[in-house]
Amino acid sequence: SQTIHQWPATLVQPVGSPLSLECTVEGTSNPNLYWYRQAAGRGLQLLFYSVGIGQISSEVPQNLSASRPQDRQFILSSKKLLLSDSGFYLCAWSGSIYEQYFGPGTRLTVT
């Protein structure tokens, strides 16, 4: 069966510091991978998605970036965090159909 991991689970970072969130998927090959952000009490905002290694589509222009260095690894980064970057970051994967499965998420607080 497929499993999706995210770490860290929680993170508190000061404004202006860098960010690196990692997501890995087990039990499947060539998944589509996604990064979402959910602000407190809000809906899911798609940030990036990837259909293959090195292929990244950006949905929202901002100070975040994503990379996919390996087939089942997806990384979300920032060089300098803003207060508005606080939120619940969710990684998800899908196979050949649209059903998406989410990881446990990373709760980021920027102070």
Element (H, E) at 82: none
Among the listed ranges 11-19, 66-74, 75-83, 95-103, the one in contact with other proteins (CB under 8 A) is 95-103
Q: By CB under 8 A, is residue 102 in contact with other proteins? A: yes
Q: How far is the CB of 86 from other proteins (least distance, A)?
A: 15
Q: Is 35 exposed, middle or buried (0-12, 13-18, 19+ CB in 10 A)?
A: buried
Contacts of 37 (CB under 8 A, 6+ apart): 44, 45, 47, 87, 88, 89, 90
Q: How far is the CB of 80 from other proteins (least distance, A)?
A: 27
Q: By CB under 8 A, is residue 5 in contact with other proteins? A: no
Beta carbon nearer to other proteins, 48 or 72: 48
Q: Name which of 89, 58, 88, 52 is nearest 72 in CA terms.
A: 52
Beta carbon nearer to other proteins, 16 or 104: 104
Binding site for other proteins (CB under 8 A): 32, 34, 42-44, 46, 49, 51, 57, 59, 90, 97-105
